[in-house]
Amino acid sequence: MNFSIETNLLAVAGITLLAVISPGPDFAVILRNALRSGRGPGLATALGIACGVVVHVTYTLLGLGWLVARYAWLLTAIRYAGAAYLVWLGCSALLSRREASGRPQAPAADARADLRQAFGNGFLCNILNPKTVLFFIALFTQVVAPGTPLAAQVGIGAYIVMAHLAWFAFVVLVLTNPAALRVFNNWRRAVERGVGGCLVALGVTLAIDN
């Protein structure tokens, strides 16, 4: 088959958008952090996710995807670590006692710690998702390589990073606008429990799903 580079780029653009937008662990952790801690930590979570994607893009561009095929235990290890992390995030949302989203009067040091923690949540959640690992390997072996010029491959990587950042930042901005927060504040406990339950369910599914 002889796909033109334009066809390939369109395919990559479309496949990426679908993968980014379809709800999964990253989406759940964005919900958890934006609703719990507000806009700043929500955006820090989105940035963490995007940095996780930078890592996926980097090892894929370096041609290290074959490691996962060669050492199957690598993917298994990522899967169990990711599952445990999601269950932990979910349980902490289920058991959370925090008040008022965004905690406007939080001391500066607390606020910085919140941002760092939120960034780490997004980063780890993304990096430990075996489906994202497989997404990159499949995309770069089936659609991008081997004839695609390196500059185009780097451009595709940058596009995938930006697509994650833009989508998840957009979700955070929507969730933390005043109207949405008013609704959320009336249902705070239920929503936090619901999101926590989803995270635990995603973790358990990841652990038992082959």
Ligand X SMILES: NC(=[NH2+])NCCC[C@H](N)C(=O)O
Contacts of 123 (CB under 8 A, 6+ apart): 48, 49, 51, 52
Q: Which residues bind ligand X (CB under 6 A)?
A: 19-20, 22-27, 131-132, 135
Of residues 25 and 40, the one with the C-beta less far from ligand X: 25
- How far apart are CB 19 and ligand X at their closest, in Å? 4
- How far apart are CB 154 and ligand X at their closest, in Å? 17
Contacts of 196 (CB under 8 A, 6+ apart): 32, 90, 91, 92, 93, 94, 95, 96
User: Which sign, positive or negative, has the C-alpha torsion 178, 183, 186, 189?
Assistant: negative
User: Based on C-alpha coordinates, what's the Rg of the chain?
Assistant: 18
- How far apart are CB 199 and ligand X at their closest, in Å? 11
Of residues 103 and 159, the one with the C-beta less far from ligand X: 159
Of residues 25 and 48, the one with the C-beta less far from ligand X: 25
Of residues 25 and 38, the one with the C-beta less far from ligand X: 25
Crossing angle of the two packed helices 25-37 and 39-61, in degrees rounded to 10: 150
Spatial separation of the C-alpha atoms in residues 93 and 193, rounded to whole Å = 7
Of residues 25 and 42, the one with the C-beta less far from ligand X: 25
- How far apart are CB 14 and ligand X at their closest, in Å? 12
- How far apart are CB 109 and ligand X at their closest, in Å? 31
Of residues 31 and 115, the one with the C-beta less far from ligand X: 31
Query: Whose CB is nearest to ligand X?
Result: 24
Spatial separation of the C-alpha atoms in residues 197 and 190, rounded to whole Å = 10
- How far apart are CB 20 and ligand X at their closest, in Å? 5
Of the candidates 157, 124, 151, 159, the residue with the CA atom closest to the CA atom of residue 58: 157
